[in-house]
Amino acid sequence: MMQEKGDWKQNTPFDPSLVRFLSELFPQMDERDRFAEIFRRFEAKEFEGLAITLKEAAFMKLFCDAYRLIYGMRRGRGEGVRAPSGRGWND
């Protein structure tokens, strides 16, 4: 979905776009680097030794839902996808 909306470009690492999104939406979140690592390892298909807690899985679902909700709200107003600051996550 982030690719469709221009917040991530194919053939580029995903985790910088994810970290920008998380930093904008959840600025007090301490676990950004952990989630970046999880997504980086998924992207590289490096699953050996990767353990994900139920809490982390639930948060990943929350991130997807938050992105979808923000995109849907802004789309309904005829706007592009922008973080609350007005910047794009891939800027």
Q: Is residue 68 part of a domain?
A: yes
pTM above 0.95, yes or no: no
Q: Is residue 38 part of a domain?
A: yes
Q: Is residue 86 part of a domain?
A: no
Q: Is residue 82 part of a domain?
A: no
User: Tens-of-pLDDT digits for all 91 residues of the chain?
Assistant: 788 878 888 889 888 888 888 888 888 989 989 999 999 999 899 999 999 999 999 999 998 898 888 876 665 555 554 555 555 544 4
Find the domain containing 28 and state its range: 15-76
Q: Is residue 24 part of a domain?
A: yes
Tally of structural domains, the chain: 1
Q: What is the DSSP string of the chain?
A: -TTTTTSS-TTS-SHHHHHHHHHHH-TT-TTHHHHHHHHHHHHTT--TT----HHHHHHHHHHHHHHHHHHHHHHHTT-----TTS--TT-
